[in-house]
Amino acid sequence: MSFFIVKREEIEKILESTLREHIEELQPLIAVEEDMPVEIFIDAAKRQKADAAVVVGRKGKIVGIVTKLDLLKILRLELPYRLRLLAIPKRPRLDKITIREIMTRNPISLKDSAKVRDAIDLMSKYRISHVVIVDDEGKPKAIISRRFLLKKIFGIEEH
């Protein structure tokens, strides 16, 4: 049996570091448009082993975030009400469902100059698993996840 020993000083150093300092360690940013079919996100997430994407509107502004967890909404969208009550599964038509239908609107974001501690505080406060990191102009740079933070700080892999 092995134990993971964390020194308080090491944790404080990570918590006080800026998000900018960790961008290179994060998964490459995936950006999708809200009117794209969901299957594009699924394909990109599989290829890049990512669990979230920023959703951009027609003017390039961030309008949402879509995560692997949001994909579960597809099952509710595709089942007629009676079939949902009977719990009879129906194969989802991914080509008919757009990102707009399953995304989380107005995602929480932080400037890349913010501290890791700020991202953790927002995740706890709003019970979210991802925060979008933006530059000073509000353009998305990366997405930081609870999974990344748990691994970075405690060495814990979330499955």
pLDDT tens readout for residues 64-104: 999 999 988 887 765 555 444 455 455 556 678 999 999 99
Q: Which two tokens stand for residue 155?
A: 């060495």
Which residue, among 17, 93, 107, 97, has the nearest Cα to 56 in the 3D structure?
107
Q: What is the pLDDT of residues 94-146, one digit of tens each?
A: 678 999 999 999 999 999 999 999 999 999 999 999 999 999 999 999 999 99
Which residue, among 86, 154, 148, has the nearest Cα to 123 in the 3D structure?
148
- pLDDT of 131 reads 98
Residue with tokens 């009676």: 82
Residue with tokens 């933070």: 149
Rounded CA gap, 24 and 27, in Å? Answer: 8
Backbone angles phi, psi at 42, to 5 degrees: -60, -45
Q: Check which CATH number belongs to the domain holding 115 and give it.
A: 3.10.580.10
Q: Is 128 within a domain?
A: yes
How long, in residues, is the chain? Answer: 159
Number of domains in the chain: 1
Q: Which domain holds residue 148?
A: 8-154
Q: Is 2 within a domain?
A: no
Q: What is the pLDDT of residues 37-59, one digit of tens each?
A: 999 999 999 999 999 999 999 88
- pTM assigned to the model: 0.84
Q: Is 159 within a domain?
A: no
Backbone angles phi, psi at 53, to 5 degrees: -145, 150
